[in-house]
Structure formats: C-alpha cells, structure tokens
Amino acid sequence: MTKQVQQLDRVIIRFAGDSGDGMQLTGDRFTAETAEFGNDVSTLPNFPAEIRAPAGTLPGVSSFQLHFADHDILTPGDAPNVLVAMNPAALKANLGDLPRGADMIVNTDEFTKRNLQKVGYAASPVDDGSLAEWRVHAVPLTSLTVKALEGFDISKKDAERAKNMFALGLLSWLYHRPTEATVKFLQGKFAKKPDIARANIAAFQAGWNYGETTESFSVSYEIKPASLTPGVYRNISGNQALAYGLIAASVQSELPLFLGSYPITPASDILHELSKHKRFGIRTFQAEDEIAGVGAALGAAFGGALGVTTTSGPGVALKAETVGLAVTTELPLIVVDVQRAGPSTGMPTKTEQTDLLMALYGRNGESPVPVIAPATPSDCFAAALEAARIAVKYRTPVMLLSDGYLANGSEPWRLPEIDDLPDLRVEFTTQPNGDDGETYLPFKRDPRTLARPWAVPGTPGLEHRIGGIEKADGSGNISYDPDNHDLMVRLRQGKIDGIARDIPALEVDDPDRDARVLVLGWGSTYGPIAAAVRRVRRAGGKVAQAHLRHLNPLPANTGEVLRSYDKVLLPEINLGQLALLLRARFLVDIISYNRVRGLPFKAEELAGVIQDVIDSE
Amino acid sequence: MSDIATNGLRYVTPNGGTGLTLVPRTDEKQTLKDFKSDQEVRWCPGCGDYAILAAVQGFLPELGLRRENIVFVSGIGCSSRFPYYLNTYGFHSIHGRAPAIATGLAASRPDLSVWVITGDGDALSIGGNHLIHALRRNVNLNILLFNNRIYGLTKGQYSPTSEVGKITKSTPMGSLDRPFNPISLALGAEASFVARTLDSDRKHLQSVLREAAAHRGASLVEIYQNCNIFNDGAFDQMKDPALRDDITLRLEHGLPIVSASKAVRRAANGGIEVVDRASVAEDEILVHDAHNPDPSVAFALSRLDEPAFEHVPLGIFRSVDRPAYDTLMAEQLKEAEGTRGPGVLGDLLHGGDTWRVG
Ligand SMILES: Cc1ncc(C[n+]2csc(CCOP(=O)(O)OP(=O)(O)O)c2C)c(N)n1
Ligand code: SF4
Ligand SMILES: [Mg+2]
C-alpha cells in the first residue's frame, strides 16, 4: 500500500494520558527526535500536582504539548492539531482545546465501561457519534502493544506499560521523525533491565510499523527543517538553562557556587540539576526550610562564595527578612523565584506572573533589589548570568523571576561560545581603604557604582562586623543618627537606581516605525506576545513590541519609549502589577490585559486584543 | 589560583590558605587586648554578658589562630550584640537565623573557626528549627547559647526556658508553657558535643570553650547568664557560696559524678538518681563517660536539674566523634572531581543531544 505524503509548515501535538502513562517521557522523546530532525520546536508540559491521582480520573490527566515547524516559532502553540488520548479522562480533559476537524488518536482499549463511568461518559464518545466533527483514529494501543510483545520474557503489566512507546512509534512514523536516538535512549534508560529495554524498543518499532501498514492512517506528513541561525543547538528547559547559567556564573566569576534551597514545585529541578555538578566545586545544601536556605547562601556569600537560593512564591515570602539583611549588609546574593499560581499554595504546577510586586516591595523598610525576568526557556541561561553580574558588581541581592511556564517548557538553544560569556571576576578587598592607610571602612563606597568593598574572612587586618542594624556611612559602626539613616536609605536606593546606566536600553521592534500602538511585556509572555504581533502584522496591522528584562531598575529610556506611542498595551498573567508601577512612575495610561488562569497566553487571544486596541485608535 | 584542580573550591583565601586546610594558626603572641574591638560595650551594668565577653576575649589568644580566620555570627537579642565587641570578623544577623547563616559560612569555608552567639529566645523560639538541624548535621560550629531564661532585649517577656508560672509583662497571671531544657533538646537532636557552664565561673567557662573549640563538628554550650534587669538571680543558688558546692554536679569524663554532698547513681528503675553522697559506696557512684556513643545516660543527666534546680550538672554532657558536615561536603566535591575530573563549562553545555545547523 503506498501512502500519501503531505507537506506541512507546522504541527501542534498534544500527548495526554494518565499520570502513570508516561506522557512526559513520550513528549520529551518526540521533542528530541524533532529537534534532531532540525525543526524549530517549543514545548509545554502540563501535569497535576498530585504524584499519582487516582488512575483514570480527570485530576490524574497529564499532558505534553509540542509545536514544531519549518520556521522559527515562539510558543508551544495555542490549540493542538493532533491529540493523542490514552484514556477517556485524557479525551474529556482536552477535547475543549481541540479545534473542530483536528485529528485525534484514541486508545480504545482504555474506553471500558468503568473508565468511561469514572469521568461521566454514559457511552463511549468514540462510538456514539459525538466526535463526528473530529478525525478520530481509534487504535487499540494497549492490546496491539501486548500482542507485539508476545514471546518477550516480561509480565503482562510491563507489556501494557510499553504502550506509550507504541504511540511514540506511531507518531514518529506519522511525522517522519528519526528514530535511532530513541532506540539508544531506551537502551540507556533500561540498561539494568535488558528485557524491558528490548520490549520498549519492540513496542516503539511496532508502533512505527503499524502506521505504515494500517488503513486508519492513509497520509503521513513532512515538515521541513527550519532555517535557524547556524550553530550548535540542544533542546533545553528553563530550569536546566537557569541551573547552567548559575554554573557559568560561578565559572566566569571564579567564585564557588553555594546553593541553599528547600524543595518546592516548580523550582526543585534547579536544586536537582545543580546537585549533579559537584565537580564544578558547587555546594548544594538542602536546608530545613526556605529561611535556612537563603540564610546559608548569605553566610556563604559573606565568606566569598556566589550565594544562590532557589524557590517559588511561598518560599520567597519566607525569605523576605533575610533578603532585607542582604540588602542592608550589601552582600551579593541571587534569589531565584520560579513563580507559580498563588496566593498561598495556589496551584503549584501552574504558571503566573504574580510575584513581581512581592519581589520589588515584599520586605520591611526601604529595601530596593534589582529584579530580572527571563523571556524564554533558553533565555534563563543569560538571565542567570546577568543576575550574577549585577549581584557581584553591586553587592546586592538580585531577584530572578522565572515561572512555571519557562521552568518546564523547552526549546532549542543555540549554545553560546564560552569566549563570549561575560567576565564576572571580582576583586576582594585585601588592603585597608581608610585615609590613614590602616583602617578598613566596610561601607566606603566605590564612587561610580556605589558598591561597598567585599573583604572576606581570612583577610588579615580587615576584621570587621556587619549586620542588620543601621550602619554609619563609611565606618559601618552601629548608628542611630537620623541624618545618617536618611543618607544610607538614599545611598542604598541610589546604588540600585544607578544600575540603569549599566543595562541595555529598552529595544523596540517597530519595523516600519509607523506603529501607534506599543505592546509591552515582561518575562515569559514574550513568546505569546511576539507570536501575536506577527499575526497582527501579517494581517496588515501596525504594532510595535518591546519586552522588559530588567524590572528594577527599568532601562533608562523606558519612559521615553512609553510616551512615544499613542497607546501602550501590557498583557500580564496577574491583575496588572507592572502596569501599576509604570502608571505611577511615568503617568502613562497603560492599557492592561490580564488573565490569571495558571496558563500562558494564547497567541490568537493576544492578537485579537492587540487588533482591538489598534481598531480603537 | 593553583588549587583549582586539587580542592574543587577554586577559592583561595587572600592569605594563601586553601579552603580545605583547617584554620590557619599564627606564631604571633596574642593577648586579650588583641580581641577587643574599638566599640563601646552597651549591656546594662552588671549583666552576665560582660563576664562571658571577658572570658571569651581572655580565652581566644590561647587558641593561637589567626584572628582573621575567626568569625562570630549572632542572631538578635542582648547577647547577640557580642560580635561587635570582638576584633574578629563578625555578622550580627537576624532573629533566630544565626545557625543557618553560620552553616553556609562554615560549610563553604573550613578554614574558619565559626562561633554562633545566641540567646534562649533566639535559639529555642524563633530559631529552634535551625538549631536542631545544625546540631544533627554536625556543622563545624561552636554555638554559645546565653540562657538567661528571659527575653532581655524586648524588655522582659518570658522565654522558652522560663519556668512554668513565670510572671512577666506578657504573662501577668503566670506563663503556661513548659520550658525546654536546652541540653535535653540538643541531645535529642543528636548533637555530638553538649555542655553547660556558668557566666560567673570563668575558669569552668574557659575550660568548656577549650573543649568545644577542639571538637570538630557542632558544639552546643549552654551558658547560664544572669539578666540582672529582667530576671535577676535566676542562677543565684549556683553562685551562692553556701549552696553552690552542694548543688553543682561536676561532669568530668572518667570521674564519679558528685557534688560536695550528693552523688549520682543508677536507680533501681533503670534510670539514675541523686542521693546523699555519704549514703553510697564510692564504687556505686556513676562514673561520667562523655564519649559514650549512646546518649541515653547523658540525657538522663540532663533531666537532673528538673524541676527546682536542687542539683544542676555542669560540664560536658557528651563529646563524641562524628564526621563534620563541611568535611563530608568537601569529600563529595573531591570525589565528584576525582572520578570525572574538574568540571569544564563547554563540555557541560555541549552535553546531551546536540545538533548542528548550517
Ligand atoms: C523577626 C523578629 N521578631 C521579633 C524580634 C524582637 N526580638 C528581639 S530580641 C527578642 C528576644 C530575645 O531574647 P533572647 O534570645 O533570650 O536574647 P536576650 O536578649 O535575652 O539575650 C525578640 C523577641 C525581632 N528582632 N525580630
Ligand atoms: S536586659 Fe538583661 S540581658 Fe539585656 S543587657 Fe540588660 S541585663 Fe543584660
Ligand atoms: Mg534570653
């Protein structure tokens, strides 16, 4: 049977199943194959906070969406073209996102009476005609897998478990993916259980062969490689890129990295990743709580280490007092907040941008800290380096605001040349800096940066005491002098404000320089906003785009940029936190667009919002 | 930076010692004056903290360590002002967090002698969690807990070591909660070194500090400290020449546990008891074994001062060898480096599945 091959420019696939069905792994492998093939790709895992919600129920559904194309893409895609549903719950949970006419591959073996009942289906939607508006491929994935593995020396359960690899094989055939890497991957993953390895590989190959021979798939698809900027690429998630950025910062600053952290979703993977790289001299300390995590990092920074703490919003709340101590003792510290839906425990595995005001103002006293937000998963690498640069140069805690979407999402990353990475070396103070040539003044500042000297214990002659009580300018002695306090408050603020001279100007993308509407964003909304801007422009709309990486201080030209457009639209996954700041600071009538659903924006949705603003001109 | 390859720290202190050598020593003769800072001491006249400060300043020279390699980290409270008065490196931090901050410092800088100064409120209320975890991890710290059984700095509320029924501003009808016994708590947290001493007994205080400093790992030293403003006389029985020799049960490794008139022996119920010294044969008296790996006898000893301070053990309850946290941490770094070589950034970034475009 010869099969038709159709060319596509992009595809969005969503794998959905029970938490125990291995959907994340399936998605990861398809992503790796796709990246290797040379498409541009962007991914969005979506999993429940419960480790094992009851099997077959809606809360137990885990999914993985990926978008790949023959051109550069900016988001994991709005709505899937293909849904792989491993059970009725997965179908029900995802059907609402599936546009009419889209394909779905359904594992009919799991559509038993009991499983259907669990999610409230009276009859199987595959049979009752309710899916008539979609192209349904009913495939008995489980039994086909078990059949393919007859004769293997494994249990029936293990055979059934390999059904995700059967599905992966089928999808790999459908989209002409290369398969060698997955075979190798499975050999490595199950190196200690060769029978299981062989079975999974056989299931994977059986899935591929099934695609080739069955009549339910008459067409397969080709998506040509994308023409990306030349270089060496790897696929990377935000958390991994952030961890690598911290390691790079340690190497580039020649300061040993000390991570103090307490596990919390979605930040834990940074702790896990850094714990693997002890041969870089990295000390990872799993503390008794978030307060101890940041405390230990600050203690290490006092001793001359690159002190880092990683957490999510609830942890930032606990760390606030210690961050204030870092502000006033003027020690370098990197505080990573992988934001998640709040308040309180909120929705741990869902994304949000709701910690901006806490990062900026969530401490007692005048307590300014620089705030930096990466824009894409791979950008977490550069953002971590930038956070370290500022922390070390200005002797200040820096807040790095990632979020759940960046943390778990992934994209191809063009690897930087090591020689191009910034030089972050610092000089510890080793000599007295007082006018008499003998005394050490721990709060005598560099007149340019306003940074204080950093003399670490072990340095003879520079013994000194720091702490949370207000210090006299210069000497660092305890001081309750009113004017000194006023001065120190202003100096600490001035130091952070002055960083504006040391960061890039806000760039505006306005190709024909004739747009009257600017759409502004910060952090992880970059992809959806940029994709929306493309759509609007393709439809003939004029819109400019700018994206803030530095939230504090803001780039020096921010006000000028905002004022040079008739309208400024600011989409945020919060209730308008940055808008509040910009309105107060620049008296610009920002138009906010806010959705707080725990999910990233969709490009289509934003394109509509932008168009509306343009039309209202 | 020649130590990059060998110690995995890429960190060399400015005086040339590496992060993995233990605390560097000096041949220079030091005196008490070398450890006095130029800051005016601001405790209430008569406060027990003065005696402790003088004892510590007088003791530090005998360690023969380079002054720049000594760090005092404190929390918040009257006692926590301590670092300002010592001419070493110091970090006066925030309430209760000193053990956590010191953990980061000690774990990453084994070349430092790190001391934690804390109060009963600082260590056992707000900072209780950090204290027990520093002890169980056996971080190389000397923790001096100034126990005045009151909140001094906030002007006299009851503390987690105040006796039940304590009348204070916040408990006008008497406090309700049972106090912690810091020694029992530390032993329960598997501390490897636990001792108790008294502010006014300089000789004993210094002898305990000597052992604490020599111990590698976490040492907890409870120092009974008089707050003459808000809890005056809390330890008067132990200072009263007419009573103290009868009350104080001296703990000295290898010696029978006795006061002038009392002795400790094994009780019929399996525990221990305090009896009239004249009533027991010498060989019935419990001989102190501070190095016993089983902490249960030390724990039983820690309960003897309950409830009414009729007899109080002073000295080292427990001193056992256990690897220090920083040593174990450094060993892991070395092991990781030894098996796979020091990390190379380019290799790290290019690890995993990569592909080339163009
Ligand atoms: C977060 C925080 N909460 C409360 C306080 C107020 N405070 C300062 S010291 C103290 C208690 C100190 O008692 P203790 O540790 O026994 O020290 P002492 O003054 O008795 O030496 C309190 C409650 C504070 N500084 N910080
Ligand atoms: S209040 Fe008490 S503990 Fe504090 S300085 Fe005065 S006497 Fe000492
Ligand atoms: Mg107290």
What are the boundaries of each domain within chain A?
A: 4-222, 234-420, 427-502, 508-615
Q: Do A35 and B37 touch (CB under 8 A)?
A: no
Ligand 3 centroid to residue B120 C-alpha, Å: 5
Arithmetic mean of pLDDT, A519-538: 97
Q: What is the amino acid identity at position A165?
A: M
Interface check B213 vs A, CB under 8 A:
no
User: In this predicted structure, which of A595-604, B20-29, B210-219, B328-337 has the lowest mean pLDDT?
Assistant: B20-29
Alpha carbons A132 and B105: distance in angstroms, whole number: 66
A contacts of B87 (beta carbons < 8 Å): 463
Q: Which residue in A has a C-alpha nearest to residue B102's C-alpha?
A: A299
Is the confidence at residue B9, as pLDDT, over 80? no
- For residues A211 and A217, the answer to whether their CB atoms sit within 8 Å is yes
B contacts of A296 (beta carbons < 8 Å): 100-101, 103-104, 107
For residue B81, give the DSSP letter: G
**Per the omega criterion (within 30 degrees of 0), is the bond before B307 cis?**
yes
Burial per residue of A73-84, b for 16 or more beta-carbon CB atoms within 10 angstroms, e otherwise = bbbbbbebbbbb
CB distance B95 to ligand 1 below 6 Å: yes
DSSP, residue by residue, B320-339: -----HHHHHHHHHHHHHHH
Q: Which ligand is nearest the CA of B230, by number?
A: 2
Alpha carbons B133 and B131: distance in angstroms, whole number: 5
Is the confidence at residue A321, as pLDDT, over 60? yes
**Chain centroid, CA B197 distance in Å:** 11
Q: Can you tell me the ipTM of this complex?
A: 0.94
A390: helix, strand or coil: helix
pLDDT of the residue at A48: 80
CB distance B225 to ligand 1 below 6 Å: no
Is the confidence at residue B6, as pLDDT, over 80? no
Nearest to B129 among A227, A278, A289 (CB): A289
Mean of pLDDT over chain A: 96
Is the confidence at residue A611, as pLDDT, over 90? yes
pLDDT of the residue at A216: 85
Interface check A224 vs B, CB under 8 A:
no
Q: Whose Cα sits closest to atom 4 in ligand 1?
A: B95
Per residue in B147-194, pLDDT (tens digit) is 999 999 999 999 999 999 999 999 999 999 999 999 999 999 999 999
Alpha carbons A309 and A331: distance in angstroms, whole number: 14
Percent pLDDT > 70 in chain A is 100
Task: For an interface test with B, give the residue of A275, A279, A440 to mutate (most B CBs within 10 A).
Answer: A279
Q: Which helix (H) or strand (E) holds A308?
A: strand A306-311
pLDDT of the residue at B13: 31
Q: Whose Cα sits closest to atom 6 in ligand 1?
A: B154
- For residues A546 and A351, the answer to whether their CB atoms sit within 8 Å is no
B contacts of A232 (beta carbons < 8 Å): 350, 354-357
Ligand 2 centroid to residue B166 C-alpha, Å: 18
Is the confidence at residue A382, as pLDDT, over 80? yes
- For residues A376 and A411, the answer to whether their CB atoms sit within 8 Å is yes
Counted residue by residue, chain A has a size of 617
**Does the reported pTM lie above 0.80?**
yes
Is the confidence at residue A538, as pLDDT, over 70? yes
Interface check A321 vs B, CB under 8 A:
yes
Arithmetic mean of pLDDT, B277-287: 96
pLDDT of the residue at A294: 98
Q: Do A232 and B73 touch (CB under 8 A)?
A: no
Alpha carbons B132 and B99: distance in angstroms, whole number: 9
Radius of gyration of chain B, Cα coordinates, nearest whole angstrom: 23
Whether CATH 3.40.50.300 fits A508-615: no
Interface check A38 vs B, CB under 8 A:
yes
Arithmetic mean of pLDDT, A263-281: 97
pLDDT of the residue at A59: 92
B contacts of A287 (beta carbons < 8 Å): 100, 103, 133
pLDDT of the residue at B35: 97
pLDDT of the residue at A1: 54
Alpha carbons B51 and B293: distance in angstroms, whole number: 33
Per residue in B258-271, pLDDT (tens digit) is 999 999 999 999 99
Under the banding of pLDDT at 50, 70 and 90, the label for residue A50 is confident
Q: Do A299 and B103 touch (CB under 8 A)?
A: yes
Is the confidence at residue B71, as pLDDT, over 60? yes
Q: What torsion, rounded to 10 degrees, do the Cα atoms A594, A599, A603, A606 define? A: -10
A contacts of B70 (beta carbons < 8 Å): 457
B contacts of A35 (beta carbons < 8 Å): 353, 355
Is the confidence at residue A617, as pLDDT, over 90? no
Number of H helices, E strands in chain B: 12, 11
Interface check B40 vs A, CB under 8 A:
no
Q: CATH number of the domain at A234-420, please?
A: 3.40.50.970
pLDDT of the residue at B307: 63
A234-420 shares the fold of A4-222: no
Q: How many CB atoms lie within 10 A of CB B202?
A: 16
Whether CATH 3.10.580.10 fits A4-222: no
CB distance B120 to ligand 2 below 6 Å: no
CB distance B120 to ligand 1 below 6 Å: yes
Arithmetic mean of pLDDT, A116-129: 94
Distance from CA of B225 to the nearest CA of A (A): 24
- For residues A333 and A391, the answer to whether their CB atoms sit within 8 Å is yes
pLDDT of the residue at B5: 28
Structural domains of chain B, with CATH: 3-253+288-349 (3.40.50.970)
Per residue in A397-426, pLDDT (tens digit) is 999 999 999 999 999 999 999 999 999 999
Under the banding of pLDDT at 50, 70 and 90, the label for residue B357 is confident
Arithmetic mean of pLDDT, B64-88: 97
Under the banding of pLDDT at 50, 70 and 90, the label for residue B3 is very low
Per residue in A150-187, pLDDT (tens digit) is 999 999 999 999 999 999 999 999 999 999 999 999 99
Kind of pairing, strands A61-69 and A10-18?
Answer: antiparallel
- For residues A310 and A258, the answer to whether their CB atoms sit within 8 Å is no
Arithmetic mean of pLDDT, A87-103: 96
Residues 499-528 in A contacting B (C-alpha not used; CB under 8 Å): none
Is the confidence at residue B11, as pLDDT, over 70? no
Query: Which residues share a beta bridge with A309?
Result: A260, A335
Q: Which ligand is nearest the CA of B148, by number?
A: 3
- For residues B227 and B148, the answer to whether their CB atoms sit within 8 Å is yes
Q: What are the backbone dihedrals phi and psi of residue B95, each rounded to the nearest 5 degrees, phi first?
A: -60, 115
Alpha carbons B116 and B96: distance in angstroms, whole number: 11
Residues 94-153 in B contacting A (C-alpha not used; CB under 8 Å): 94, 97, 100-109, 111-112, 129-130, 133
Q: Which residue in A has a C-alpha nearest to residue B92's C-alpha?
A: A467
Mean of pLDDT over chain B: 92
